[in-house]
Structure 1
């Protein structure tokens, strides 16, 4: 069967089939899996990122990055690029569309704009992230805090991009962890209080060689009345060898195809 030679009705039926499968999986019980633990012997580097500031690291394939929300901040934003080809970067639209969900937590992967897997979420004690609203900007700081001169995610990511030879147009979408956003019936976003806790962490395993940018600024919809984010901790560690039943690689059909596009780069 030539998939590119089918009638429109076939594509519609195929779309509906994949959608229904994804909705069923999303509403069902999560697969059982053994958590991937970070041990002290696996730690390669620790860094404290002050409130409002940024940090970047090169994360080789197979290593993982743990972001620890030490201060209980309402948001830590992350941008991702293929370190071997910086024209390939995180694509929020494809990540949501290909996995049929905005709930990006343990078991999900983050896709590039070339249909490959940048990173897998192998651990997430918080369970809430947002990749729809984007990071903070001077305008959102002016609205929330009355001061557009405060540090913000858009400018932090642009500074990191510049240090690696990229331009403003190379800074696209980001994902903001430790942020509970609900989409309303009219398409607007609403912040949900009470779900962000100090000490929560997220673990991202590199599926290709990555440039990772971290901005420690509040989500633009966070309820803060003053700009006072506390420090967070970033820990780079060696993840264990991937097993055949790895949750992120087997969670859904779309993720499996993403890895089929990614793995040949490293054979």
Structure 2
């Protein structure tokens, strides 16, 4: 996507914050790490059927990968594509580490509360996601495995999870092209494996653009045969809503 293309919407999500919005099909959301070292935990839901949400196991096994990056798709648990990763400056999106809860954040960085510390309190990713999904009538049982944009977690030969510090640099962007109407849930709370001494407040710019139409040579469409089948499921799901002229 051209960097000078006019954004339809833009806002900055501060570090340690949370937010959500409905992204219509045919739009691209560009996330930009403004300072370096950001983490953006995200979830996806179908606004017309909240039982349909992002499915991490299907996304990974369908594309034969442990990580996600440019060229990959994000599957729903009904075999459709929520979004395609059309750009990833970081080259590695964490798929397996989840988010930290209140206890983990308190043990690592100490406790602060909003009443005393306002915007400098130490929010945790689990509660942040719960607050956002509650806006749509969802709760704890609806929290699926999330993605952590701008974060990299690899494995050692012994199977240990290894967090890559400063994986994302200031100005790095990740762009998701949405292939169906989607509720996008976000939090900039720190990654659960981040070893930083001080609680990291890393803001992320969120910008929405009209997406370019997908063509037959699209990288995400063609990177795996499973992706082509998932896009076909998207097409079939839209068919009943299309007015046919006989």
Structure 1 length as normaliser, TM-score? 0.82
Say if 2:37 and 2:166, in contact at 8 Å, map to a contact too: no
Q: Which residue of 2 aligns with 1:50?
A: 14
Please state how far the C-alpha of 1:128 moved relative to its aligned partner: 2.0
Say if 2:16 and 2:123, in contact at 8 Å, map to a contact too: yes
Q: Which 4+ stretches in 1 moved above 6 angstroms?
A: none
Please state how far the C-alpha of 1:140 moved relative to its aligned partner: 2.4
- Distance (whole Å) between structure 2 residues aligned to residue 130 and residue 152 of structure 1: 18
Please state how far the C-alpha of 1:248 moved relative to its aligned partner: 0.5
- Distance (whole Å) between structure 2 residues aligned to residue 192 and residue 40 of structure 1: 32
Say if 2:35 and 2:170, in contact at 8 Å, map to a contact too: yes
Larger fraction in helix: 1
- Distance (whole Å) between structure 2 residues aligned to residue 253 and residue 92 of structure 1: 18
> Which deviations, in whole Å up to 9, do the C-alpha atoms of 1:97-133 show, x marking residues without a partner?
1111022110000111111111100111111211101
- Distance (whole Å) between structure 2 residues aligned to residue 173 and residue 215 of structure 1: 14
Does residue 1:64 correspond to 2:28, yes or no?
Answer: yes
Unaligned runs of 5+ in 1: 1-35
Structure 2 residue matching 1:218: 3-state secondary structure: coil
Q: Which residue of 1 aligns with 2:137?
A: 165
Q: Which residue of 1 aligns with 2:212?
A: 240
- Distance (whole Å) between structure 2 residues aligned to residue 140 and residue 148 of structure 1: 13
- Distance (whole Å) between structure 1 residues aligned to residue 180 and residue 164 of structure 2: 33
Structure 2 residue matching 1:237: 3-state secondary structure: strand
Please state how far the C-alpha of 1:54 moved relative to its aligned partner: 0.7
- Distance (whole Å) between structure 1 residues aligned to residue 83 and residue 4 of structure 2: 20
Distance 1:137 1:265, change over 3 A: same
> Which deviations, in whole Å up to 9, do the C-alpha atoms of 1:57-83 show, x marking residues without a partner?
110111011111112134111111112
Q: Which residue of 2 aligns with 1:86?
A: 50
Structure 1 residue matching 2:52: 3-state secondary structure: coil
Does residue 1:40 correspond to 2:40, yes or no?
Answer: no
**How many matched pairs?**
231
Please state how far the C-alpha of 1:146 moved relative to its aligned partner: 3.2
Does residue 1:258 correspond to 2:230, yes or no?
Answer: yes
Please state how far the C-alpha of 1:89 moved relative to its aligned partner: 0.5
Distance 1:51 1:194, change over 3 A: closer
Please state how far the C-alpha of 1:228 moved relative to its aligned partner: 3.0
Please state how far the C-alpha of 1:93 moved relative to its aligned partner: 1.1
Unaligned runs of 5+ in 2: 114-121, 240-246
Say if 1:63 and 1:239, in contact at 8 Å, map to a contact too: yes
- Distance (whole Å) between structure 1 residues aligned to residue 157 and residue 79 of structure 2: 30
- Distance (whole Å) between structure 2 residues aligned to residue 221 and residue 74 of structure 1: 13
- Distance (whole Å) between structure 1 residues aligned to residue 94 and residue 187 of structure 2: 14
1:146-165 residue pairs with structure 2 within 5 A? 146-147=110-111, 150-165=122-137
Say if 2:35 and 2:202, in contact at 8 Å, map to a contact too: yes
Give the counterpart of 1:75 among 34, 39, 46: 39
- Distance (whole Å) between structure 1 residues aligned to residue 51 and residue 3 of structure 2: 31
Structure 1 residue matching 2:51: 3-state secondary structure: coil
Structure 2 length as normaliser, TM-score? 0.89
1:1-267 residue pairs with structure 2 within 5 A? 36-41=1-6, 43-147=7-111, 150-267=122-239
